[in-house]
Each structure stands twice: as structure tokens, then as C-alpha cells.
Structure 1
Amino acid sequence: MGKSFGTITVLVLLALPLILFVAGQFRLFAGRKPDDLGITNGLLKAPMKDWRNVVSSQAAYHPHEPHHVIAPLEYTGDGHGAMERVAGIIAGMPGARIVTATPHYLHAEFRSMLLGFVDDVEFMLDTNDRLIHMRSGARLNRKDFGANRARLESVRSRFERRAESRNGDPIPT
């Protein structure tokens, strides 16, 4: 009995990653798109206070924790051109799909390669303050292990490099 139990345990442990991978390919970990994405009263969706799976440059306008806060993108020149730059950056990122793009708002979904988890990413143009507010949040789980912050910081880095290259400054390598 002990030998067969050990064999079954080994088979289950070997099969589990395959089962999880297949489930991800069938989008069983994608979650449901939130109904409250977009701009409401001039703000992007609020972070859920007790969840660590979202960052927002507008966290200060909602009940939040320090881990929710991220700085917005700052731009010079034309705001619509800056939003087009953001759209170009997002379109070139792995797992990204732009869902909605208007001159003032962009919503994209990022799907993880292995298990198919989906995160919603939003950008909102604020022409008065010359900012692009941003929010990135996981649909599932309370923690994202920093994935959403890292994604938006990657967007920031690419955005700033493209701005520098347009101003004639060298692009850092």
C-alpha cells in the first residue's frame, strides 16, 4: 500500500503543473472584467483598501494604503501625442491587448504567459496638470507580488526614454 500511495503522489505532483497550465490556456484564471473600469467623476477606479494587487496614481483620492501609491506620468508638449506614445508602448509589451483607446483614456489587458492571469491597466490624460494618471490591478488574488507596479514602472521608463529621444537627447542604454 505504501508503494502505490507513493506512486500516486508522484503522479499527482507531476500532473499538477500540466493541469494548471492547461487551465490557464482555457482562460480559467482570467477572471471577469470589472464593471467599474473607466473614468468616473474624473477618477480611475479606486484600489481596494485591503488588497495588495493594485497600484494607482490617484490612490490619494480614495481610501488607500501606501503600497497602492505610484506617481503619474508627466509629459511636455501635446497631451494627445503623449497618450499615443503610451498606446504604442503598451502595444509593444508582451501579453498586452488594448481594449479601449480614446484621446483621453486607454484600457489594456495584460495576460500572463503561463497561467493566463489577467490584469487591467488604465491611463487617463489630465491636460490641466500635464499628467497621465495610471492604474494597474489584478483581477484575481489579493497579492500580485509587485507585478503591477513593475509593469507601470516599465511603462514609465519607456515613456521617458521616448520623450528624451524626441527632444534630441541621447537615449540611455
Structure 2
Amino acid sequence: MFIVKWTLVVIALVAIAGLIAGQLGLLKGTPPADLGVHGGKLKPPSQAPNSVSSQASLYPGHPQRTYADIAPLSLKGDPDATLDRIAGIIEAMDGANIVKREPGYIYAQFTTRLMKYVDDAEFWFDPDAEVIQVRSASRLGKSDLGVNRKRIEFIRQKLSSS
């Protein structure tokens, strides 16, 4: 019984330490320096299963290509109008912050409420494919528990219903 109680105390202390670290911003990670469009492509998916990319198929040898694969977003009107709608959807989401907005491109950060983890998301109008290419990735951790996929699918659903 003594060992069980101390095990519970240790687990509680670790959980509290994690919460404190998150609140202090120690779990937000570093923003990637290589975001944006390079040679008609967004950054490849993460090496760990914690990202999605509508361009995952462009990286055939990538270890997370299958996990990361997600469909691009369809245009809803012209490209500028579609990106304006996407920006509006993002701005209404909890923990969202649009960091960069350029013609044909949006870069946003999503911060979790409790632990303050940050995910980076990009939306780019691909003139060749005539779609909005997307990439959303966690900065830290080996798994995102499907959060990035759910986020992009939420944006897709909101975009199609607007």
C-alpha cells in the first residue's frame, strides 16, 4: 500500500510539473525556419506521425507519407476569396493566430490551452492544381493523436458549409 501511495504522489508531481512547464511556455518548441513555398511545395511532413500534408505524395520515400496524406482544400470561389474564408475560420478557432498572410498563402499557429503546445499550419493556393495545399504539424512530440488531421478536416467542413 505504501508503494502505491508514493507512486500516485510521483505521478501527480510529474503531471503538475508538466502543467507548470506548459504554462511557462517551455513546451511550445521553436518555429520552423523553413516554412513557406519552395519549388512549388510546402515543407515535407514531419519524420514522426504528428503532421498532415496534402503534398505528402510528393515525398515517395518519406517514412510518414501514408500517415500524413490528406486531401487539399477545394476552392470556394476564387483563390483570394477562399483564403479569406480560411483566414476567417482560423481567426474564430480557439488558440489560433495568423502569423503571416501573403497573396496566396497563410501561415497560422495553433496553441493548446492547457499545455501550450504549438502546431504550425500552412495554406497555399497551388495555381497548377487549382486547390489550396495544406500542411499542419506539431513542433514537439512523436504523435499528435490525430489533432492536425482533425483541425484540417474541421476547416474543410467549415469552408464547404460557408
TM above 0.5, one fold?
A: yes
> Equivalents in 1 of 2:11, 2:131: separation in Å?
49
Is the Cα contact below 8 Å between 1:121 and 1:137 reproduced in 2? yes
Superposition RMSD on alpha carbons, in Å? 1.7
Task: Give the match's secondary structure for 1:43.
Answer: coil
**Counterpart in the other structure of 2:146:** 146
> Equivalents in 2 of 1:9, 1:60: separation in Å?
46
Task: Give the counterpart of 1:28 among 19, 26, 29.
Answer: 26
Q: 1:147 to 1:76 in 2, by over 3 A?
A: closer
> Equivalents in 1 of 2:136, 2:118: separation in Å?
11
Give the counterpart letter for 1:51 in structure 2: A
Number of aligned residues = 159
Query: Kindly, what percent of the aligned residue pairs are identical?
Result: 39
5+ residue gaps, structure 2, are: none
Larger Rg: 1
**Counterpart in the other structure of 2:53:** 56
Give the counterpart letter for 1:24 in structure 2: G
**Which TM-score applies when normalising by structure 2?**
0.90
> Equivalents in 2 of 1:19, 1:80: separation in Å?
44
> Equivalents in 2 of 1:76, 1:120: separation in Å?
23
The more displaced of 5-14 and 122-131 is 5-14
The more displaced of 123-132 and 84-93 is 123-132
Mapped pair 1:74 → 2:74:
yes
CA apart distance, 1:76? 4.1
Give the counterpart letter for 1:95 in structure 2: G
> Equivalents in 1 of 2:7, 2:151: separation in Å?
37
Give the counterpart letter for 1:47 in structure 2: P
Give the counterpart letter for 2:124 in structure 1: M
**Counterpart in the other structure of 2:13:** 15
Is the Cα contact below 8 Å between 1:111 and 1:118 reproduced in 2? yes
**Which TM-score applies when normalising by structure 1?**
0.84
Give the counterpart letter for 2:25 in structure 1: R
Is the Cα contact below 8 Å between 1:137 and 1:148 reproduced in 2? yes
Task: Give the match's secondary structure for 2:123.
Answer: strand
Is the Cα contact below 8 Å between 2:76 and 2:160 reproduced in 1? no
Superposed, 1:1-173 pairs within 5 Å as 8-48=6-46, 50-63=47-60, 64=62, 65-162=65-162
